[in-house]
Amino acid sequence: MRTNKIMNYESILQVLGEAGCPFCRFMKNFQAALLQDPAQKEIHHLCNFHTWGIAATQRALFAAQVFLNLMSKQSDDPPAFPCDICILLQIEEDRRIREFLGCVQHKLVAQWLRSQAALCMIHGTKLRQSASPVIASTIGAVMERYRIRLAEDLARLRDEYRPDSAEWGLLGHAAEFLASQRGLHP
């Protein structure tokens, strides 16, 4: 993990024009902001991923203080509480799914769904579970269209392999489709 430039997104609609799943992009940015912002909320519990994320992205003095605080609270009992950052991510992800579904009739969202939509399986599934049957069907069609395009591109990459291929980024798109962006979901 490395530090990332943090974008000041306030709405999921701001990332619809970007490549890949807009929820992954929004949430990855949100997660980076939580890890990199020294003014973040007090941390009581961290998972493995976010512990290493603090170590990799935070200024040494702040990371040292976070780790000292965590060590002073450590007991011999196994961790019983979920990661504070994971909780904040889940709350934000739920908020953005509700926001998107509330804006689905918006002209920008409808156009995005018809033309360039790309959703990973995790976020697409969460959207479908919370959407009306009509919207769930549309989201399913978007996911299938993206899956077919990725499958065709992956088959072409496999069949026309060239070591200097400019299409290696395709593997990252496929991984995102299957499991969301790295570090967002266990």
pLDDT tops 90 at residue 47: no
- The fraction of the chain above a pLDDT of 90, given in percent, is 32
**Angle between the 121-130 and 169-179 helix axes, to the nearest 10 degrees?**
30
Average pLDDT, the chain: 83
Buried b (16+ CB within 10 A) or exposed e, 57-95: bbeeeebeebbeeeeeeeeeeeeeeebbbbeebeeebee
pLDDT band at 39 (very low <50, low <70, confident <90, very high): low
pLDDT at 75: 61
pLDDT at 180: 77
Count CA atoms closer than 13 A to 102's CA, side-chain side: 9
pTM higher than 0.75 for the full model?
A: yes
pLDDT at 83: 85
pLDDT tops 60 at residue 139: yes
Q: Helices H, strands E: what count in the chain?
A: 8, 0
Residue 9, token pair as written in the block: 């997104």
pLDDT tops 60 at residue 186: no
Mapping DSSP to helix (H, G, I), strand (E, B) and coil, where does residue 41 land? coil
